[in-house]
Amino acid sequence: MLSKFFLIPIKGYQYISKMLPASCRYYPTCSEYAKWQFEFNRVDKALFQTSKRILCCNQLFAGGIDYPVIKYKKPNLILLQQNLKVKYWIVPYEKKLFYIIKNFNH
């Protein structure tokens, strides 16, 4: 899958950035935002949203809480029963659009 091509350098950056002081103006951090975008969106849309977010991560913007917004289709009930661990919460935003929020107990 092409999204894994983009996820590998993001995870590498996150590993290295743990040794540096935190500098992102947003929550979730820009790298975490990018990771969630590539996990839930098409590559072109994820790349656009991530680029837009990184360009806004500077002194000209206030920063704050900015969760990724995605289109989401509910999986079959059978799939839900097989995977009981909740990694992300899918919270309604607008019609057919949802916020992605990470479950930190995962």
> Taking Cα atoms as reference points, which of 39, 90, 98 lies closest to residue 69?
98
pLDDT by residue (tens digit) across 91-104?
A: 899 888 999 888 87
| pTM of the model as a whole | 0.80
Predicted confidence (pLDDT) at residue 106 exceeds the cutoff of 90? no
Query: According to the model, what pLDDT value does residue 52 have?
Result: 93
**Is residue 63 left, alpha or beta, with left meaning phi > 0 and alpha meaning psi from -120 to 50?**
left
Q: If 0-12 CB within 10 Å is exposed, 13-18 middle and 19+ buried, where does residue 81 land?
A: exposed
pLDDT, mean of residues 41-45: 90
The whole-chain average pLDDT of the chain stands at 84
Domain count, the chain: 1
* Domain with 59 in it: 2-102
pLDDT by residue (tens digit) across 20-31?
A: 888 888 899 999
